[in-house]
Amino acid sequence: MDTNNKEFIDVEDALKRVGGNEGLYKRLLGRFIDGDHFGALESAIQSGDTEESAHLAHTLKGVSANLSLAKVTALSAELEQAIKNGNDYAALLSDLKQAYETTLKKISEISG
C-alpha cells in the first residue's frame, strides 16, 4: 500500500487505527467512495438547508478523520464552522470538492 499521499491520505495513521489490517482499511475506503458524502452535502447546501448542511459537513469530517483523509477532514471542519457561523463558504465548498475528488483518486490508486 502506497504511503506517500500524506497530504490527502495518511495511510500509516489509518493502519494504526485498524490494527494494521490493510484489507479492512481498503473495505472502509470502498464504503467511503460508495457513500457519496460530498454529493449529499452539496445537495443540502443547494437546497438552502443550513442545519442539514452543517450536520453533513460534520459527518464528512468524522468519517474522513477516522480514515485519516487529512485534507478532506480539515476542509470539512472549516466548512462546518463557516456554515454554523453564517459566513460565506462558497470558496471553501469549492476547495472541499476539489480535495474530495482528488482524495477519491488517491483512494483508487492505493486500493488498486
The predicted pLDDT at position 109 comes to: 86
Cα 46 from Cα 22, distance rounded (Å): 37
Contacts of 69 (CB under 8 A, 6+ apart): 8, 9, 32, 103
Q: Which residue has the cell 490508486?
A: 109
Q: Mean pLDDT in each 10-residue stretch from start to end of the chain (112 residues)?
A: 72 93 93 92 95 97 96 97 95 96 91 72
The predicted pLDDT at position 13 comes to: 93
The predicted pLDDT at position 5 comes to: 65
- Of the candidates 104, 108, 31, 23, the one whose C-alpha atom is nearest the C-alpha of residue 69 is 104
- Of the candidates 27, 32, 21, 83, the one whose C-alpha atom is nearest the C-alpha of residue 56 is 83
Domains of the chain, CATH where assigned: 19-111 (1.20.120)
Angle made by CA atoms 35, 105, 46, in degrees to the nearest 5 = 50
Query: pTM for the complete prediction?
Result: 0.91
